[in-house]
Chain A
Amino acid sequence: MNFLKSSVGRKVLMAITGQLMVLFVVVHLLGNSTIFIGLINSYAEHLHSLGPFVWLFRLVLLAMVLIHAFFGIQVTLENRAATPQKYAVNRTLKVSLASSSMIWTGLTLVLFIVYHLCHFTARLTSDVASYAGQVPGDVYKMVLGSFQHGLISFVYVAAMCALCLHLYHGIQSFFQTMGWNNDTSLPLISCIGRALAVIFLLGYSSIPVFILTGILS
Chain B
Amino acid sequence: MSAHNEHKTMTLTLIVWRQKNANDQGKFDTYVAKGITEHHSFLEMLDVVNEDLIKGGKEPIMFDHDCREGICGMCSQVVNGVPHGGQERTTVCQLHMRKFKDGDTIYIEPWRAKAFPIIRDLVTDRSALDTIIQAGGYSSCHTGGVPDGNAILVSKPDADYAMDAAECIGCGACAAACPNSAAMLFTSAKVAQLAVLPQGKPEASERVKNMLDAHKECGFGNCSNHYECQAACPKGINVKFIAKLNREYLKAQFT
Contacts and interface: CB of A to CB of B under 8 A. Distances in A.
A183 B112 contact: no
A78 B179 contact: no
23 contacts: A6-B249, A7-B212, A7-B216, A7-B223, A8-B245, A79-B222, A82-B181, A82-B220, A85-B112, A87-B109, A88-B109, A89-B80, A91-B81, A92-B177, A95-B226, A99-B225, A99-B226, A173-B224, A176-B225, A178-B250, A179-B245, A181-B243, A186-B243
Interface in A38-84: 75, 78-79, 81-84
Nearest to B78: A87
Interface residues of A, number: 45
Q: Which of B86, B223, B238 has the most CB of A within 10 A?
A: B223
Contact of A173 (B181, B209, B225): B225
A179 B226 contact: no
Contacts of B239: 176, 183, 186
Contacts of B243: 175-176, 179-182, 186
Given A79-B179, A176-B225, A8 B246 contact: yes
B162 to A, nearest CB: 15
A6 B216 contact: yes
B235 interface: no
Interface of B: 15, 17, 28, 78, 80-82, 86, 107, 109, 112-115, 177, 179-182, 184, 209, 212-213, 215-216, 219-228, 230-232, 238-240, 242-250, 253
Interface string A1-45: 101011111111000000000000000000000000000000000
Contacts of A85: 112
A114 interface: no
B181 A9 contact: no
A88 B17 CA distance: 10
Interface of A: 1, 3, 5-12, 75, 78-79, 81-96, 99-100, 102, 169, 172-173, 175-183, 186
A116 to B, nearest CB: 26
A122 to B, nearest CB: 34
Contacts of A6: 209, 212-213, 216, 249
Contacts of A78: 221-222
Contacts, number: 143
A144 B226 CA distance: 40
B228 A88 contact: no
Contact of A179 (B15, B182, B220, B246): B246
A186 B246 CA distance: 15
Contact of B225 (A88, A177, A180): A177
Contacts of B232: 93
Contacts of B231: 93-94
Contacts of B182: 7, 79, 82
Nearest to B105: A89
A89 B81 contact: yes
Contacts of B226: 94-96, 99-100
Contacts of B220: 82
